[in-house]
Amino acid sequence: MSENVNRRIEIDPCPRCGKPHHYALKVTRSRISDFLPGIGGDTPDERSFVRLFTCPVESSSFQATVSLIVERGFRIKDVEVLGDHV
């Protein structure tokens, strides 16, 4: 079973125009059914995803790496860039 959560990230500086931008992400994650408490430790997991973003100033796209915290008991299946929020 999977669910969607929205996240906001900041790209600072933008590789195109050098200004900071905010983007909305749609994260599809699933609950790990066989998750057992005590396994994996208490440190949250971090996963990196490379996605295509559009600079709203230059109207050109660029690739950037997004690091997301994965809550315990969940697995991130997909990350989709919804758009920019300057």
Q: Which residues bind Zn ion (CB under 5 A)?
A: 14, 16-17, 55, 57
Query: Which residue, 12 or 78, has its beta carbon nearer to Zn ion?
Result: 12
Query: Which residue, 2 or 60, has its beta carbon nearer to Zn ion?
Result: 60
Backbone φ and ψ for 60, nearest 5 degrees, come out as -125, 155
Nearest to 20 by CA among 7, 9, 36: 9
The neighbouring-strand residues paired with 3 are: 29
Name the minimum Å distance from CB 17 to Zn ion: 3
Name the minimum Å distance from CB 81 to Zn ion: 14
